[in-house]
Amino acid sequence: MSLGKILTLSNDNTLPQIGLGTWLSKPHEVENAVEIAVRHGYRHLDLARVYQNQDEVGRALKKVIPSVVKREELFITSKLWNNSHQPAEVEKALDETLEQLGLEYLDLYLVHWAVAFPPGKGLFPPHPTKEGEVELDTETSLVDTWKAVIKLPKSKVRAVGVSNFTIAQIEALIAATGVVPIVNQVEAHPLLPQDDLVAYSKEKGIHITAYSPLGNNLVGKPKLTEHKVVQEVADKLGATTAQVLVAWGAYRGYSVIPKSVQESRIHSNFKQVELSKEDYEKITAIGKENRTRFNIPITYNPKWDINLFDEEEEKVAGHKPKVQ
Ligand SMILES: NC(=O)c1ccc[n+]([C@@H]2O[C@H](COP(=O)([O-])OP(=O)(O)OC[C@H]3O[C@@H](n4cnc5c(N)ncnc54)[C@H](OP(=O)(O)O)[C@@H]3O)[C@@H](O)[C@H]2O)c1
C-alpha cells in the first residue's frame, strides 16, 4: 500500500502530502470516510472543532488504532475555534478536542481564523443587535492568543500554527513572540494561488497546507473540477480532474487536503499524478483572470463582519481584527 509523498516541517516532523479534509458532512459520513481513508493509506487527517464531527472521527480512529495503524503513524491536525481565543480558554478547548477524538495528543494545532468571538456562548454567538451576524470579541488580540497557543504543553501538541492568517498578521505574531508558526493553512487552488503568501512562507520556513484544493463547490460558482482546461489536462494524463488539482498543489511543494465522503473519490483523490511544467503552467494560467476565493466569512451565514484579508480586491467593509 502506498502512503504517498512525505514532506518535512520546520520542527523536523514529517507529514504526508495528501490529507483528508473533513468539513461538511451528514451524520456518520465522516466516521465512514476516515475509516475508509486510513484503511486506504491516508495518514494525514484535517479536523476542526467547528466541523462538529470530531466525535465521529474519534469513533473511526478507535476502529483503526491500533489494528490498522499505530497512533504515531498518523498526522492529525485540529484547530482552535474563534470562541476560544481568550488565553484562559485555549488549553481547555484543546482538551475538549482531544477528548472528542479520544487522543492524547495532536500533531498540529492551528488558530483557525484571525478573529475572536466571546467564549461561553456557543460556536457562533449571536450578535446582540445585528441579526444574522456573529458577536465579535474585539478585546482579545491575535498576539494574546498566539502567546497562549505557544505555551501549550508539547505532550498535547507536537506543533502549532495558524490558518487564514495574512503576512502582516504572521509578522505581528513573530515580532511579539519570536515564534514562527510551523504551518499556515489557507485556501489555495488555481483560482487563488496565493503567490505572495506562498513565497513569504517559503522564506520563513512556514509550511503551507492548501485547503479547498478542488474549489470546494459550495457557493454555486462553476466547479473547478469541471473546468475545461483542468479537464483537458486530466484527459491527457488519464487522470481525474481532482487528481490534477491535487497535483497542481503538490507541484508547488505544499500539502493538500481534499475532502470527500465518497469511497471511490477518497481512493482516487489519494492517487498522486505528476504534472509537467507545461501542464502546471497551463492550469496556473486559468487563475490569472478569474481570481476566486470560495471561503469569505462576511458571506457566511451567520456572517462575521470582519475583513480578514490583505489583498486589494478584498477591501470590503468590516472591522479589522485586533492584532496586538
Ligand atoms: N482552515 C480553514 O479555514 C478551512 C476552510 C475550508 C476547508 N478546510 C479544510 O480543507 C478541506 C478541503 O476543503 P473543502 O472541503 O472546502 O473543499 P474541497 O476539498 O476543495 O472540495 C470538497 C468538495 O468536492 C467534492 N469532491 C471530492 N472529491 C471529488 C472528486 N474526485 N471529483 C469531484 N468532486 C469531488 C466533495 O464532495 P463529496 O464529499 O461528495 O465527494 C465536496 O463537495 C476541508 O474539508 C477542511 O478539512 C479548512
pLDDT digits (tens, 9 = 90+) for 260-299: 999 999 999 999 999 999 999 999 999 987 888 888 888 8
Measure Cα distances from 222 to 136, 252, 259, 292 in Å: 32, 24, 18, 11
Average pLDDT over the chain, rounded to whole?
94
**Active site residues per annotation:** 51
267 annotated to bind ligand: no
Find the 161 Cα to ligand 1 centroid distance in Å: 21
pLDDT digits (tens, 9 = 90+) for 117-129: 999 999 999 999 9
Residue to mutate (ligand 1; options 166, 187, 212; most atoms within 8 A of CB): 212
Check pLDDT > 60 for residue 317.
Answer: no
Find the 245 Cα to ligand 1 centroid distance in Å: 12
Distance CA 267, CA 261 (A): 10
Check pLDDT > 50 for residue 253.
Answer: yes
Nearest CA to ligand 1 atom 36: 260
By mean pLDDT, which of 75-79, 163-167, 215-219 is the weakest? 215-219
- Look at residue 313 in the predicted model and tell me its pLDDT: 46
- Look at residue 73 in the predicted model and tell me its pLDDT: 98
| Across 230-246, average pLDDT | 98
Distance CA 61, CA 45 (A): 11
The larger pLDDT score, comparing residue 85 to residue 218, is at 85
Amino acid letter for position 251: Y
Find the 15 Cα to ligand 1 centroid distance in Å: 19
Nearest CA to ligand 1 atom 10: 211
Distance CA 97, CA 78 (A): 8
Ligand 1 atom closest to residue 213's alpha carbon, by position in its atom list: 20
| Across 221-239, average pLDDT | 94
Check pLDDT > 50 for residue 303.
Answer: yes
Enumerate domains of the chain plus CATH numbers.
6-314 (3.20.20.100)
Q: Output the ligand 1 site: residues, CB below 6 A.
A: 21-23, 46, 112, 163-164, 185, 211-217, 225, 240, 242, 257-262, 265, 268-269, 295
Distance CA 80, CA 165 (A): 13
Categorize the per-residue pLDDT at 316 as very low, low, confident or very high, splitting at 50, 70 and 90. Answer: low
